[in-house]
Amino acid sequence: MIRVRHLTKDYRLGSNTFRALHDVTFDVETGAMVAIMGQSGSGKTTLMNVLGGLDTPTDGQYWLNGREVGRFDPVTWSHIRNRTIGFVFQNFNLVPTLTAIGNVELPLIYRRVPPRIRRTRAVEVLGAMGLGERLHHYPTQLSGGQQQRVAIARALVGDPPLLLADEPTGNLDVNTGREILSVLQELHQAGRTVVVVTHAPEVAAVCERVLRMQDGRMEAQRFEEDAHELE
Ligand X SMILES: Nc1ncnc2c1ncn2[C@@H]1O[C@H](COP(=O)(O)OP(=O)(O)O)[C@@H](O)[C@H]1O
Contact positions vs Mg ion (CB under 5 A): 44-45
Q: In the chain, which residue ranges form alpha helices assigned H by DSSP?
A: 44-51, 74-84, 100-110, 115-128, 144-156, 174-189, 201-205, 224-230
For position 13 contacting ligand X by CB under 6 A, the verdict is yes
> Residues 4, 46, 180, 211: which binds ligand X (CB under 6 A)?
46
For position 140 contacting ligand X by CB under 6 A, the verdict is no
For position 43 contacting ligand X by CB under 6 A, the verdict is yes
- Phi and psi (nearest 5°) for 190? -80, 0
3-state secondary structure of 225: helix
20 interface partner picked from ligand X, Mg ion, none, CB below 5 to 8 A per type: ligand X
Stretch that binds ligand X, among 38-46, 111-119, 136-144, 156-164 (CB under 6 A): 38-46
- How far apart, in Å, are the Cα atoms of 40 and each of 16, 23, 167? 21, 19, 11
In whole angstroms, give the CA distance from residue 211 to residue 143: 31
Q: Which is nearer to ligand X, 44 or 192 (CB)?
A: 44
Smallest distance, Mg ion to C-beta of residue 169, A = 13
Stretch that binds ligand X, among 33-41, 59-67, 115-123, 203-211 (CB under 6 A): 33-41
3-state secondary structure of 50: helix
Q: Give the strands of the sheet with 209-214, arranged side by side.
A: 85-88, 162-166, 193-197, 33-37, 209-214, 217-218
For position 11 contacting ligand X by CB under 6 A, the verdict is yes
Please give the residue whose beta carbon sits closest to Mg ion in the complex.
45
Interface positions with ligand X (CB under 6 A): 11, 13, 18, 20, 38, 40-46
